[in-house]
Amino acid sequence: METIQLHTKSRPSTVLCGAGALSEAKSFLQGKECFVVTDSNVLRLYADTISQTFPGASVCAVPAGERHKNRCSLFAILDAMLDARLHRSSVVVALGGGVVGDMAGLAAALYMRGTRLVQVPTTLLAQVDSSVGGKTAVDYRGVKNVIGAFYQPERVFCDPLFFRTLPPREIRCGLGEIVKTGVLDPAVGDMIKENKGSLRDLSFLQQLAAACVRFKARVVEEDETERSGLRKCLNLGHTTGHALELMYGRRSHGEYVLIGMWLESHIAEREGVCTPAYAREVRSMIALALPRIPAFPGAAGALRYALLDKKNEGQGTVSMILPKERGAYAELALPADRYAAYLALLEDPCR
Ligand code: ADP
Ligand code: ZN
């Protein structure tokens, strides 16, 4: 098991990664009043695990799925917290994927201006990415994560035992952020390249997850609230990925991030941000997780969504984080029409 400390300014956070992390959670929470937030799927699969790990805890299950990441679920959690008469020293335990983590985290930040918070992420995506860093939010009026707060969990317990029940789609979703980290961090990139065949192997994924957390911890420590700009690097692949996700839906977030990185590697190459050889190296890493880039008819139409991205500062330009060279990236703002021309590459990516 690995312990990773986040020396964040608001309050420090400790992440435990590896087999046995859930038992550590049990010891840490023994004797404390716990309030477990989960979703309907996770409760169905892990009801016994939850009652054995957190005996006597109140359990609140929200409906599963991103479309329930809204104020309705948030207030259902807050209502249940009030009904359970939680006080500020009670511990909210977010046990589920990124959606549960975001909503339970926000509820913990709001209730009595802040209760204690522990994350027990159960998806690969949540273990490598969303449970670390203290971002919490719900979607509102069609805008993703528009109501939220930075609120660091005291502890994050990442146990690979939860991977066994994950459907392949959810594994692919986590691979998106893992490959993204591999492009940003040479240590993770080397691990991926040296173990090409093992990206479906759960124990290797667990090692990769820990390496991704180590990288993210360093970034978040330097730039906890996305002010200095360093944390922006985590948006690699996300400008295009989010725009496609908004336009087409259907696939998982991680797949859109992979597709976004694929397109943005071409942009980096053609705009002279990186060498063709490095762009090919990035694409070969993407191919390990997503061997074929699907075609998106009418992809240039995703420009409309890319222009909504909060990274854009100028009018009519699209900003993105591009791979530059091993361990380095660059931010580039492209005029809208030029970006739309690149998007059109996705209409026939095999060309
Ligand atoms: P993500 O973690 O990908 O951001 P969600 O929180 O929506 O997103 O989780 C994705 C889906 O996976 C949800 O339907 C959730 O109920 C389900 N899920 C979460 N953890 C597990 C698990 N360990 N095994 C199977 N399904 C899970
Ligand atoms: Zn992402």
> Is-contact 340 300, C-beta < 8 A?
yes
SS3 category, 149: strand
Closest C-alpha to ligand 1, atom 16: 41
Residue 183: name the closest of 233, 142, 129, 225 by CA: 233
Measured in Å, residue 77 CA sits from the centre of ligand 1 at 18
Could you confirm whether 313 is annotated as catalytic? no
Are 101 and 107 in contact by the 8 Å Cβ rule? The answer is no
pLDDT at 180: 96
In the chain, the amino acid numbered 223 is D
Phi, then psi, of 131 in degrees rounded to 5:
-75, -15
> How many residues are given for the chain?
351
Return the bridge partners of 320, or none.
332
Closest ligand 1 atom to residue 65 Cα is 7
Q: Measure the N-to-C terminal CA separation of the chain; round to a whole number of Å.
A: 45
**CA neighbor of 57 nearest in space, from 76, 21, 82, 31:** 31
Which helix (H) or strand (E) segment is 198 a member of?
none
Which residue is associated with the tokens 């820990």? 210
- List the chain residues with pLDDT less than 50: none
The answer to whether 210 and 18 are in contact (CB under 8 A) is yes
Q: Specify whether the CB–CB gap between 302 and 240 falls below 8 A.
A: yes
**What's the pLDDT at 249?**
87
Q: Tokens 């589920």 map to which residue?
A: 96
Q: What is the pTM for the complete model shown?
A: 0.92
Helix axes 238-248 and 253-270, enclosed angle (nearest 10)? 130
- 26 catalytic? Reply is no
Q: Which residues of 43-70 are buried (b: 16+ CB within 10 A; e: fewer)?
A: beebeebbeebbeebbbbbbebeeebbb
pLDDT at 348: 93
Task: Give the SS3 label for residue 231.
Answer: helix
Query: Quick one: pLDDT at residue 24?
Result: 98
Q: How far is the CA of 97 from the centre of ligand 1 (A)?
A: 5
Cite the DSSP H helix spans in the chain.
21-29, 40-53, 71-83, 98-110, 124-125, 168-184, 186-194, 202-222, 238-248, 253-270, 276-289, 303-306, 336-343
Q: Which atom of ligand 1 is nearest to the CA of 123?
A: 20
CA distance 194 to 208: 12
Q: What is the reported pLDDT for 183?
A: 96
Taking the centre of ligand 2 as the mean of its atom positions, its distance from the CA of residue 255, in whole angstroms, is 10
Give the SS3 label for residue 35.
strand
Spatial CB neighbours of 323, under 8 Å, sequence gap ≥ 6: 183, 236, 261, 264, 265, 268, 273, 274, 278, 279, 282, 329
- Find the angle CA(174)-CA(162)-CA(182) to the nearest 5 degrees: 25
What does the pLDDT read at residue 293?
96
* Choice among 155, 231, 232, 251 that is catalytic: 231
The Cα 157–Cα 20 span in angstroms is 9
208/122 Cα distance (integer angstroms): 15
Q: Kindly identify the ligand whose nearest atom is closest to the C-alpha of 170.
A: 1
The pLDDT score that the predictor gives to residue 50 is 98
